[in-house]
Amino acid sequence: MDVISVIRTKRDRGRLTDEQIDWVIDAYTRGEVADEQMSALAMAILLNGMDRAEIARWTAAMIASGERMDFAALPRPTADKHSTGGVGDKITLPLAPLVAACGAAVPQLSGRGLGHTGGTLDKLESIPGWRALLSNDEMMNVLRDVGAVICAAGDGLAPADKKLYALRDVTGTVEAIPLIASSIMSKKIAEGTGSLVLDVKVGSGAFMKNLDDARELASTMVGLGSDHGVRTVALLTDMSTPLGLTAGNALEVRESVEVLAGGGPADVVELTLALAREMLTAAGLPDADPERALKDGSAMDHWRRMITAQGGDPDATLPVARERHVVTADASGVLTELDAYAVGVAAWRLGAGRARKEDPVQAGAGIELHAKPGDPVTAGQPLLTLHTDTPERFPYALQALAGGVTVGPAGTAFSPRPIVLDRIS
Protein backbone atom coordinates (compact mmCIF):
# COMPACT_ATOMS: atom_id res chain seq x y z
CA MET A 1 0.00 0.00 0.00
CA ASP A 2 1.25 3.52 -0.74
CA VAL A 3 0.23 6.93 0.56
CA ILE A 4 -0.28 8.48 -2.89
CA SER A 5 -3.06 5.99 -3.61
CA VAL A 6 -4.72 6.79 -0.29
CA ILE A 7 -4.53 10.54 -0.96
CA ARG A 8 -5.94 10.13 -4.47
CA THR A 9 -8.83 8.00 -3.22
CA LYS A 10 -10.04 10.72 -0.90
CA ARG A 11 -9.11 13.52 -3.32
CA ASP A 12 -11.41 11.90 -5.88
CA ARG A 13 -14.24 11.64 -3.31
CA GLY A 14 -13.76 7.92 -2.83
CA ARG A 15 -14.28 5.93 0.37
CA LEU A 16 -11.17 4.80 2.24
CA THR A 17 -11.13 1.09 3.06
CA ASP A 18 -10.45 -0.17 6.57
CA GLU A 19 -7.08 -1.43 5.34
CA GLN A 20 -6.14 1.96 3.89
CA ILE A 21 -7.09 3.76 7.11
CA ASP A 22 -5.25 1.29 9.35
CA TRP A 23 -2.15 1.47 7.16
CA VAL A 24 -1.94 5.25 6.74
CA ILE A 25 -2.42 5.96 10.47
CA ASP A 26 0.22 3.39 11.41
CA ALA A 27 2.64 4.53 8.71
CA TYR A 28 2.27 8.21 9.68
CA THR A 29 2.84 7.39 13.34
CA ARG A 30 6.04 5.53 12.44
CA GLY A 31 7.25 8.34 10.16
CA GLU A 32 6.88 6.42 6.91
CA VAL A 33 4.29 8.96 5.72
CA ALA A 34 5.67 12.51 5.67
CA ASP A 35 3.94 15.55 7.14
CA GLU A 36 3.32 17.05 3.69
CA GLN A 37 1.62 13.85 2.58
CA MET A 38 -0.62 13.67 5.64
CA SER A 39 -1.37 17.38 5.11
CA ALA A 40 -2.63 16.58 1.62
CA LEU A 41 -4.80 13.75 2.95
CA ALA A 42 -6.17 15.95 5.75
CA MET A 43 -7.11 18.62 3.21
CA ALA A 44 -8.83 16.02 1.04
CA ILE A 45 -10.81 14.85 4.10
CA LEU A 46 -11.72 18.46 4.92
CA LEU A 47 -13.02 19.03 1.39
CA ASN A 48 -14.69 15.68 0.74
CA GLY A 49 -15.61 14.31 4.17
CA MET A 50 -15.90 10.79 5.53
CA ASP A 51 -18.89 8.58 6.20
CA ARG A 52 -19.74 7.25 9.67
CA ALA A 53 -17.92 3.95 9.10
CA GLU A 54 -14.76 5.71 7.90
CA ILE A 55 -14.76 8.01 10.95
CA ALA A 56 -15.27 5.05 13.28
CA ARG A 57 -12.38 3.14 11.70
CA TRP A 58 -10.12 6.23 11.67
CA THR A 59 -10.85 6.73 15.38
CA ALA A 60 -10.18 3.06 16.17
CA ALA A 61 -6.87 3.24 14.29
CA MET A 62 -5.85 6.32 16.28
CA ILE A 63 -6.66 4.52 19.53
CA ALA A 64 -4.75 1.43 18.39
CA SER A 65 -1.64 3.52 17.70
CA GLY A 66 -0.92 3.62 21.45
CA GLU A 67 -1.89 2.46 24.91
CA ARG A 68 -5.16 2.65 26.84
CA MET A 69 -5.47 3.85 30.42
CA ASP A 70 -7.62 2.34 33.16
CA PHE A 71 -8.98 4.23 36.16
CA ALA A 72 -10.92 1.34 37.66
CA ALA A 73 -8.68 1.38 40.75
CA LEU A 74 -9.77 4.90 41.71
CA PRO A 75 -12.29 5.15 44.58
CA ARG A 76 -14.32 7.76 42.64
CA PRO A 77 -16.29 7.62 39.39
CA THR A 78 -14.51 9.35 36.51
CA ALA A 79 -15.88 12.16 34.36
CA ASP A 80 -14.14 14.22 31.73
CA LYS A 81 -15.04 17.22 29.58
CA HIS A 82 -13.83 18.39 26.22
CA SER A 83 -14.42 21.66 24.41
CA THR A 84 -14.12 21.93 20.64
CA GLY A 85 -12.39 25.27 21.13
CA GLY A 86 -13.40 28.86 21.46
CA VAL A 87 -12.22 32.35 22.34
CA GLY A 88 -11.88 33.12 26.03
CA ASP A 89 -12.85 29.52 26.78
CA LYS A 90 -11.13 29.01 30.11
CA ILE A 91 -13.91 26.75 31.45
CA THR A 92 -11.68 23.70 32.04
CA LEU A 93 -9.61 25.60 34.62
CA PRO A 94 -12.39 26.16 37.19
CA LEU A 95 -14.45 23.15 36.07
CA ALA A 96 -12.00 20.33 36.83
CA PRO A 97 -11.38 21.27 40.50
CA LEU A 98 -15.08 22.10 40.93
CA VAL A 99 -16.22 18.65 39.82
CA ALA A 100 -13.51 17.04 41.96
CA ALA A 101 -14.77 19.00 44.97
CA CYS A 102 -18.17 17.39 44.36
CA GLY A 103 -16.88 13.82 44.48
CA ALA A 104 -15.89 12.77 40.95
CA ALA A 105 -12.39 12.16 39.58
CA VAL A 106 -11.51 14.32 36.56
CA PRO A 107 -8.67 12.96 34.36
CA GLN A 108 -8.58 16.01 32.08
CA LEU A 109 -6.28 15.50 29.12
CA SER A 110 -6.05 18.85 27.37
CA GLY A 111 -4.34 20.35 24.35
CA ARG A 112 -2.66 23.47 23.09
CA GLY A 113 -4.09 26.26 20.99
CA LEU A 114 -5.48 25.48 17.55
CA GLY A 115 -5.55 28.46 15.21
CA HIS A 116 -7.45 31.35 16.75
CA THR A 117 -8.66 29.29 19.73
CA GLY A 118 -6.74 29.15 23.00
CA GLY A 119 -5.19 26.04 24.50
CA THR A 120 -5.73 24.96 28.10
CA LEU A 121 -2.12 23.81 28.50
CA ASP A 122 -0.78 27.11 27.13
CA LYS A 123 -2.87 28.96 29.72
CA LEU A 124 -1.80 26.84 32.67
CA GLU A 125 1.87 27.01 31.67
CA SER A 126 1.75 30.73 32.48
CA ILE A 127 1.70 29.64 36.15
CA PRO A 128 5.34 29.47 37.33
CA GLY A 129 6.51 25.90 37.77
CA TRP A 130 3.36 24.20 36.49
CA ARG A 131 3.99 21.04 34.44
CA ALA A 132 1.78 19.75 31.64
CA LEU A 133 3.72 16.54 31.11
CA LEU A 134 3.06 13.86 33.72
CA SER A 135 3.76 10.15 33.66
CA ASN A 136 0.81 7.80 34.01
CA ASP A 137 1.84 7.08 37.60
CA GLU A 138 2.04 10.79 38.41
CA MET A 139 -1.37 11.35 36.86
CA MET A 140 -2.89 8.55 38.96
CA ASN A 141 -1.30 9.90 42.13
CA VAL A 142 -2.73 13.39 41.55
CA LEU A 143 -6.15 11.90 40.87
CA ARG A 144 -6.03 9.88 44.10
CA ASP A 145 -4.83 12.81 46.19
CA VAL A 146 -6.73 15.72 44.64
CA GLY A 147 -9.44 14.24 42.44
CA ALA A 148 -8.52 16.34 39.39
CA VAL A 149 -5.60 16.60 37.02
CA ILE A 150 -5.16 18.68 33.86
CA CYS A 151 -2.27 17.51 31.72
CA ALA A 152 -1.07 16.66 28.25
CA ALA A 153 -1.73 13.27 26.78
CA GLY A 154 1.35 11.10 27.25
CA ASP A 155 3.40 9.96 24.28
CA GLY A 156 1.87 6.51 24.58
CA LEU A 157 -1.75 7.69 24.36
CA ALA A 158 -3.02 7.96 20.76
CA PRO A 159 0.40 9.09 19.43
CA ALA A 160 -1.06 9.31 15.93
CA ASP A 161 -3.38 12.04 17.13
CA LYS A 162 -0.57 13.95 18.80
CA LYS A 163 1.23 14.25 15.46
CA LEU A 164 -1.90 14.98 13.44
CA TYR A 165 -3.27 17.50 15.97
CA ALA A 166 -0.20 19.73 15.62
CA LEU A 167 -0.21 19.34 11.83
CA ARG A 168 -3.86 20.39 11.48
CA ASP A 169 -3.17 23.58 13.40
CA VAL A 170 -0.77 24.87 10.77
CA THR A 171 -2.28 23.49 7.54
CA GLY A 172 -5.79 24.98 7.57
CA THR A 173 -7.49 21.65 8.27
CA VAL A 174 -8.66 22.18 11.85
CA GLU A 175 -12.33 22.52 10.83
CA ALA A 176 -12.71 19.04 9.26
CA ILE A 177 -15.52 17.34 11.20
CA PRO A 178 -14.13 13.78 10.76
CA LEU A 179 -10.72 14.91 12.03
CA ILE A 180 -12.15 16.89 14.94
CA ALA A 181 -14.37 13.98 16.02
CA SER A 182 -11.68 11.32 15.72
CA SER A 183 -9.05 13.50 17.39
CA ILE A 184 -11.19 14.22 20.42
CA MET A 185 -12.72 10.81 20.83
CA SER A 186 -9.56 8.76 20.22
CA LYS A 187 -7.86 10.51 23.14
CA LYS A 188 -10.91 10.40 25.40
CA ILE A 189 -11.65 6.73 24.74
CA ALA A 190 -7.99 5.73 25.12
CA GLU A 191 -7.83 7.80 28.29
CA GLY A 192 -10.30 5.42 29.92
CA THR A 193 -12.78 7.87 31.46
CA GLY A 194 -16.13 6.40 32.44
CA SER A 195 -18.18 9.37 31.21
CA LEU A 196 -17.62 12.35 28.97
CA VAL A 197 -19.33 15.70 28.47
CA LEU A 198 -18.62 17.51 25.23
CA ASP A 199 -18.84 21.29 24.92
CA VAL A 200 -19.41 21.84 21.19
CA LYS A 201 -18.99 25.52 20.39
CA VAL A 202 -21.20 27.23 17.78
CA GLY A 203 -20.65 30.64 16.22
CA SER A 204 -18.06 32.87 14.60
CA GLY A 205 -15.36 32.08 17.15
CA ALA A 206 -15.89 28.31 16.90
CA PHE A 207 -14.83 25.86 14.23
CA MET A 208 -18.52 25.03 13.80
CA LYS A 209 -20.16 28.21 12.53
CA ASN A 210 -23.77 27.01 12.49
CA LEU A 211 -26.05 24.73 14.51
CA ASP A 212 -26.41 22.10 11.79
CA ASP A 213 -22.65 21.49 11.56
CA ALA A 214 -22.36 21.54 15.36
CA ARG A 215 -25.14 18.98 15.72
CA GLU A 216 -23.46 16.77 13.13
CA LEU A 217 -20.17 16.90 15.01
CA ALA A 218 -21.81 16.40 18.40
CA SER A 219 -23.89 13.45 17.18
CA THR A 220 -20.82 11.86 15.58
CA MET A 221 -18.81 12.13 18.80
CA VAL A 222 -21.66 10.99 21.06
CA GLY A 223 -22.07 7.96 18.80
CA LEU A 224 -18.35 7.18 18.88
CA GLY A 225 -18.29 7.41 22.67
CA SER A 226 -21.36 5.25 23.14
CA ASP A 227 -19.99 2.64 20.72
CA HIS A 228 -16.89 2.33 22.95
CA GLY A 229 -18.80 2.12 26.23
CA VAL A 230 -18.22 5.72 27.37
CA ARG A 231 -21.34 7.54 28.64
CA THR A 232 -21.29 10.62 26.43
CA VAL A 233 -23.44 13.75 26.23
CA ALA A 234 -22.89 17.00 24.33
CA LEU A 235 -23.94 20.57 24.98
CA LEU A 236 -23.99 22.98 22.05
CA THR A 237 -22.90 26.37 23.41
CA ASP A 238 -22.66 29.85 21.96
CA MET A 239 -19.35 31.21 20.70
CA SER A 240 -20.46 34.28 18.77
CA THR A 241 -18.95 36.47 21.52
CA PRO A 242 -15.86 35.63 23.60
CA LEU A 243 -16.51 33.93 26.93
CA GLY A 244 -15.83 36.14 29.89
CA LEU A 245 -13.75 39.29 29.73
CA THR A 246 -10.34 37.92 28.69
CA ALA A 247 -8.72 36.07 25.80
CA GLY A 248 -5.12 35.02 26.34
CA ASN A 249 -3.10 32.82 28.63
CA ALA A 250 -2.23 34.41 31.99
CA LEU A 251 -5.21 36.75 31.54
CA GLU A 252 -7.58 33.78 31.47
CA VAL A 253 -5.92 32.13 34.46
CA ARG A 254 -6.61 35.26 36.51
CA GLU A 255 -10.26 35.22 35.47
CA SER A 256 -10.57 31.51 36.29
CA VAL A 257 -9.27 32.14 39.80
CA GLU A 258 -11.91 34.87 40.18
CA VAL A 259 -14.60 32.29 39.34
CA LEU A 260 -13.18 29.83 41.86
CA ALA A 261 -13.23 32.62 44.45
CA GLY A 262 -16.98 32.99 43.96
CA GLY A 263 -16.89 35.87 41.48
CA GLY A 264 -16.03 36.18 37.81
CA PRO A 265 -18.11 36.98 34.72
CA ALA A 266 -21.67 35.66 34.74
CA ASP A 267 -21.37 33.78 31.43
CA VAL A 268 -18.27 31.88 32.59
CA VAL A 269 -19.95 30.93 35.87
CA GLU A 270 -23.15 29.84 34.10
CA LEU A 271 -21.39 27.56 31.64
CA THR A 272 -19.04 26.15 34.28
CA LEU A 273 -22.01 25.16 36.44
CA ALA A 274 -23.98 23.74 33.50
CA LEU A 275 -21.09 21.50 32.46
CA ALA A 276 -20.37 20.52 36.06
CA ARG A 277 -23.95 19.33 36.54
CA GLU A 278 -23.77 17.28 33.34
CA MET A 279 -20.46 15.70 34.40
CA LEU A 280 -21.70 14.85 37.88
CA THR A 281 -24.92 13.35 36.56
CA ALA A 282 -23.02 11.26 34.01
CA ALA A 283 -20.71 10.08 36.79
CA GLY A 284 -23.66 8.95 38.90
CA LEU A 285 -23.60 11.92 41.31
CA PRO A 286 -26.75 13.86 40.33
CA ASP A 287 -27.35 15.19 43.85
CA ALA A 288 -23.98 16.96 44.15
CA ASP A 289 -24.20 20.76 44.35
CA PRO A 290 -21.44 22.49 42.32
CA GLU A 291 -22.82 25.95 43.07
CA ARG A 292 -22.27 25.39 46.76
CA ALA A 293 -18.72 24.12 46.09
CA LEU A 294 -17.92 27.44 44.40
CA LYS A 295 -19.33 29.43 47.31
CA ASP A 296 -17.87 27.47 50.23
CA GLY A 297 -14.26 27.51 48.98
CA SER A 298 -13.91 23.77 48.36
CA ALA A 299 -13.46 24.25 44.59
CA MET A 300 -10.71 26.80 45.22
CA ASP A 301 -9.05 24.42 47.65
CA HIS A 302 -8.99 21.68 44.99
CA TRP A 303 -7.58 24.17 42.44
CA ARG A 304 -4.69 25.10 44.73
CA ARG A 305 -3.94 21.47 45.51
CA MET A 306 -4.09 20.50 41.82
CA ILE A 307 -1.74 23.30 40.73
CA THR A 308 0.68 22.50 43.57
CA ALA A 309 0.63 18.77 42.76
CA GLN A 310 1.79 19.58 39.23
CA GLY A 311 4.68 21.73 40.37
CA GLY A 312 2.97 25.11 40.13
CA ASP A 313 2.76 27.88 42.68
CA PRO A 314 -0.87 29.01 43.07
CA ASP A 315 0.30 32.15 44.86
CA ALA A 316 2.89 33.19 42.28
CA THR A 317 2.55 36.43 40.35
CA LEU A 318 1.37 35.68 36.83
CA PRO A 319 3.22 37.12 33.82
CA VAL A 320 2.16 40.53 32.51
CA ALA A 321 2.83 41.72 28.98
CA ARG A 322 5.25 44.63 28.62
CA GLU A 323 3.12 46.66 26.19
CA ARG A 324 -0.55 47.69 26.05
CA HIS A 325 -2.82 49.38 23.54
CA VAL A 326 -6.34 50.57 24.34
CA VAL A 327 -9.14 50.46 21.76
CA THR A 328 -11.87 53.01 22.49
CA ALA A 329 -15.45 53.46 21.28
CA ASP A 330 -15.66 55.84 18.32
CA ALA A 331 -19.26 56.80 19.17
CA SER A 332 -21.78 56.64 21.99
CA GLY A 333 -24.55 54.08 21.91
CA VAL A 334 -24.91 50.34 22.52
CA LEU A 335 -22.24 47.71 21.83
CA THR A 336 -24.11 45.39 19.48
CA GLU A 337 -21.29 43.14 18.28
CA LEU A 338 -17.99 41.87 19.65
CA ASP A 339 -17.11 39.16 17.20
CA ALA A 340 -15.43 36.18 18.81
CA TYR A 341 -13.42 35.26 15.72
CA ALA A 342 -12.04 38.78 15.35
CA VAL A 343 -10.99 38.85 19.01
CA GLY A 344 -9.48 35.37 18.76
CA VAL A 345 -7.41 36.21 15.69
CA ALA A 346 -6.26 39.47 17.29
CA ALA A 347 -5.17 37.66 20.46
CA TRP A 348 -3.39 35.07 18.31
CA ARG A 349 -1.56 37.81 16.41
CA LEU A 350 -0.54 39.47 19.68
CA GLY A 351 1.33 36.30 20.60
CA ALA A 352 -1.23 34.29 22.57
CA GLY A 353 -1.28 31.59 19.85
CA ARG A 354 1.12 30.07 17.37
CA ALA A 355 1.43 30.13 13.58
CA ARG A 356 3.72 27.06 13.46
CA LYS A 357 3.55 24.01 15.70
CA GLU A 358 7.01 24.70 17.12
CA ASP A 359 6.31 28.37 17.92
CA PRO A 360 6.33 29.56 21.57
CA VAL A 361 3.45 31.59 22.95
CA GLN A 362 3.59 34.72 25.07
CA ALA A 363 2.16 34.08 28.52
CA GLY A 364 1.02 37.68 28.99
CA ALA A 365 -0.35 38.32 25.50
CA GLY A 366 -4.06 38.65 24.86
CA ILE A 367 -7.06 40.93 25.09
CA GLU A 368 -9.15 42.31 27.94
CA LEU A 369 -12.77 43.19 27.19
CA HIS A 370 -14.24 46.19 29.00
CA ALA A 371 -17.76 45.80 27.61
CA LYS A 372 -19.95 43.02 26.22
CA PRO A 373 -22.71 43.18 23.60
CA GLY A 374 -25.77 44.88 25.01
CA ASP A 375 -23.76 47.26 27.23
CA PRO A 376 -24.17 51.05 26.77
CA VAL A 377 -20.94 52.81 25.82
CA THR A 378 -19.80 56.40 25.40
CA ALA A 379 -17.44 57.84 22.81
CA GLY A 380 -13.85 57.49 23.96
CA GLN A 381 -14.65 54.75 26.47
CA PRO A 382 -12.16 51.85 26.53
CA LEU A 383 -13.62 48.77 24.85
CA LEU A 384 -10.54 46.53 24.61
CA THR A 385 -7.01 46.50 25.97
CA LEU A 386 -4.46 44.66 23.85
CA HIS A 387 -1.46 43.07 25.61
CA THR A 388 1.80 41.89 24.05
CA ASP A 389 5.55 41.86 24.64
CA THR A 390 6.14 42.88 21.01
CA PRO A 391 4.43 46.17 20.12
CA GLU A 392 5.06 45.72 16.41
CA ARG A 393 2.19 43.22 16.58
CA PHE A 394 -0.41 45.89 17.45
CA PRO A 395 -1.21 47.01 13.87
CA TYR A 396 -1.67 43.41 12.75
CA ALA A 397 -4.00 42.70 15.70
CA LEU A 398 -5.99 45.90 15.10
CA GLN A 399 -6.41 44.85 11.49
CA ALA A 400 -8.05 41.63 12.70
CA LEU A 401 -10.46 43.60 14.88
CA ALA A 402 -11.62 45.85 12.03
CA GLY A 403 -15.34 45.26 11.52
CA GLY A 404 -15.58 42.98 14.54
CA VAL A 405 -16.63 45.65 17.04
CA THR A 406 -19.90 47.47 16.34
CA VAL A 407 -21.57 50.26 18.32
CA GLY A 408 -25.21 50.96 17.43
CA PRO A 409 -27.26 54.06 18.26
CA ALA A 410 -28.46 54.59 21.81
CA GLY A 411 -31.61 52.59 22.46
CA THR A 412 -30.75 49.87 19.95
CA ALA A 413 -32.54 46.67 20.94
CA PHE A 414 -30.22 43.77 21.72
CA SER A 415 -31.25 40.17 22.40
CA PRO A 416 -28.37 38.01 23.62
CA ARG A 417 -28.21 34.36 22.57
CA PRO A 418 -28.48 31.82 25.38
CA ILE A 419 -25.19 30.20 26.33
CA VAL A 420 -26.51 26.62 26.04
CA LEU A 421 -28.21 26.19 22.66
CA ASP A 422 -28.96 22.46 22.62
CA ARG A 423 -28.19 19.12 24.28
CA ILE A 424 -27.44 15.86 22.48
CA SER A 425 -27.24 12.47 24.19
Supply the residues annotated as catalytic: 82, 161, 168, 183, 187
Measured between alpha carbons, how far is residue 292 from residues 295, 298, 307 in Å? 5, 9, 21
Q: Give the alpha-carbon dihedral of 13, 15, 19, 25, to 10 degrees.
A: 50
Dist CA 221 CA 201 (whole Å): 13
Helices (H) and strands (E) in the chain, counts: 16, 13
Question: In terms of Cα–Cα distance, which of 324, 348, 318 is closest to 118?
Answer: 348
Q: What is the DSSP letter of 393?
A: G
| Residue 316 CB contacts under 8 Å (≥ 6 apart), including other chains | 127, 128, 129
The answer to whether the beta carbons of residues 82 and 211 sit under 8 Å apart is no
Dist CA 279 CA 407 (whole Å): 38
Q: What is the DSSP letter of 351?
A: I
Q: What is the DSSP letter of 16?
A: P
Question: In terms of Cα–Cα distance, which of 260, 319, 336, 343 is closest to 88?
Answer: 343
Strand partners, 333: 377
The answer to whether the beta carbons of residues 290 and 277 sit under 8 Å apart is yes
